[in-house]
Chains A and B, each alone.
Chain A
Amino acid sequence: MKLHEHQAKEIFSRYGIPVPEGKVAFSLKEAKQVAEELGEFPLVVKAQIHCGGRGKAGGVKIVKNMEELEQAVEGMLGKVLKTFQCPDGKPVNRVWIEKATAIDKEFYLSITLDRARSKPVLMASAAGGMEIEEIAKENPEAIIIEEIDPELGLMPYQARKLAFRLGLPVKDFSKMALTLYRIYTDLDASLVEINPLVLDKEGKIIALDAKLDVDDNALFRHKDIEEMEDESQISPLEVEAKKYGLNYIKLSGNIGCMVNGAGLAMATMDIIKLAGGEPANFLDVGGGANVEQIANAFRILMADEDVKAVFINIFGGILRCDRLAQGLVEAGKMVELSVPIVVRMEGTNVEEGKKILAESGMNFVNAEDMWDGARKAVELAGG
């Protein structure tokens, strides 16, 4: 789960990591109040969206007076901000307003999981402000990596070492790095990132930006974090699917997919592409799909106006094909199926399953195998 910059900054600040003094605002009125409270200009207005690349897209503005602040806030709130990372854009429903910082130098600092080592790593670089991926591509030796022992945690000497190499105030930086690691473990974060971390003209270090992603699997022990989720940043159908325990991700094509199992769901998207079509979504109904789940899955697929045909690909193991077929028929009665539905079933009791679909009088198109199903779906969707 992703948090907004303002939420991450509030958390950082609570832990004692210095961030620019600021506050979040949900309306122009609130924004003006915040500006008055902060009591000085220039201020920085930052659009809050779950996407990087805001600066270049006009989502970060420095304002010198109240008039400019109003202009900046009005230009952001209620608008959809498109960045190079999110070409479709994300709605801006809140802005963060903070005191401007006199920057001397910019750095990069983050902690994340290194999957190959199954350990957290601290990454730092003197090339702040850039995306870490860009630095990694253009100048990999500019990134300093410290592997962290999960049992010991980040050791102070590791933080000191980085401070010396980057030329940062040793005591302040060590404290910041160790605190950042505490946030990483306390909150079950998958990523904590300060980019840029700045050294200001007075020689102080400040987290000018803040990013905090939390492991979805650990949300059960962080109810307070879970409540901070801004659903406007996720597609409405994804929010809906989550409620029913379905794993759904909207894509840009026109062939809806319904599959059991994440791996097979990805393979189904791939085979649609191979057959000359484009998948409209990723949808994993899980191992034990019941009537209610299938009906909800149908509802979500039919709600996507781009969907011109649906490809259901189920490998029945524990979930028997006859049970699945009954589920499809019953769900089909509950939801209006406005586009052709291609069904490919394989596995346990497949013959009984096919019979149930054939005798249902409903318009299910039978597919012999995955390839046949993909080709039929592409054809029915109109190529």
Chain B
Amino acid sequence: MAILVDKNTKVVVQGITGKEGSFHATQCKAYGTQVVAGVTPGKAGQEVEGIPVFNTVEDAVKETGANCSLIFVPAPFAADAIVEALDSGIELVVCITEGIPVKDMMMVKDYMKKNYPDAKLVGPNCPGLITPGEAKVGIMPGHIFKRGNIGIVSRSGTLTYEAAYQLTRLGLGQSTAVGIGGDPVHGLSHRDVIEMFNEDPETEAILMIGEIGGTAEEEAAEFIEAHVDKPVFAYIAGITAPPGKRMGHAGAIIMGGKGTAKAKMEALEKAGAYVIDNPAKIGETVAKILGILEVAEEEKTCDTD
């Protein structure tokens, strides 16, 4: 099952002839994702590693049946690319691009809400998403993920890799890992993805990685408290971040005393989530609470005896 993407997902890569686009389209394809098309205006008829290039997303959809778009278009043109994908009937848009103006994203999100309430946007400024063993629609290193029952949702790229790697090393696989991105205005929220994981029969536990800024983690906490019975683990980055400073991600900023890591941790703890304070112990904590690590250690003890 997993969520959002699987082996049947057909991906069109917008901006495929660019450096990033061609590299990652090739990587996704090598992972086993069905990358059926690419789009770069004016470059129809070309191929990138055997992937046909079209002038418009509409053409790509008509010819290949693509239902998911992966966007690498530069920031000044990214909003246009997202809207093109939506208008061409794409149901899932994954936007990797970093640095899109907030106003552009605000207009896109508003347009999407009014015209395509069922379409989904992941990102922007995100690593994309992966259902291990089936489809990688993003820029993450595929080999650190392993198929299993833990759903990951995160605002950060490398921190997601860190967490996934810790889990994988302990034998804890993932159903799907979704990087929702670090921008203040973005598509799917923590809450949205947690809702999907909650309904996904394959997902047995959820790991949420948040960071300072905004109130998305608090909203997720409310949802968890009211609706989620599966174990939820949470790590929030930025407990040492000073207020008023933008910590790399445009969305990671504490303003007017709002959006602190402490407030988020408290809300999640109150909602019944397991809040992890040491980012090096994410895998270990999940394993211990799910009762997996103890078993493993006992086995080890038996062996040495």
* A residues with CB within 8 A of B: 85, 113, 115-116, 118-120, 131-133, 136-137, 149-151, 185, 188, 190, 215-218, 220-221, 247, 249, 251, 259-274, 279, 282, 284, 287, 315-318, 346-348, 369-371, 374
Contacts and interface: CB of A to CB of B under 8 A. Distances in A.
Q: Which of A218, A262, A263 has the most CB of B within 10 A?
A: A263
Given A119-B106, A371-B281, A217 B211 contact: no
B133 to A, nearest CB: 18
B304 interface: no
6 contacts: A120-B106, A262-B182, A267-B159, A270-B239, A318-B139, A374-B280
B215 interface: yes
Given A263-B155, A263-B209, A284-B248, A274 B278 contact: yes
B60 interface: no
A371 B159 CA distance: 14
A119 B110 contact: yes
B106 A266 contact: no
Contacts of B242: 249, 251
Nearest to B98: A217
Given A113-B184, A266-B237, A217 B158 contact: no
Contacts of B157: 261, 263, 287
B103 interface: yes
B214 A317 contact: no
A264 B156 contact: yes
Size class of the contact patch on chain B: 35 or more
- Which secondary structure dominates chain A's binding surface? mixed
Interface in B182-224: 182, 184-185, 209, 211-216, 219
B76 interface: yes
B185 A264 contact: no
A268 B235 CA distance: 13
A370 B238 CA distance: 16
Contacts of A268: 279
Given A151-B110, A185-B103, A263-B249, 8 more contacts: A116-B216, A118-B106, A259-B158, A262-B182, A263-B209, A270-B237, A270-B261, A347-B161
Given A115-B214, A347-B165, A266 B256 contact: no
A267 B107 CA distance: 32
A120 B110 CA distance: 11
B146 interface: no
Given A119-B106, A315-B165, A265 B247 contact: yes
Nearest to B189: A116
A133 B257 contact: yes
Contact of B238 (A119, A260, A266): A266
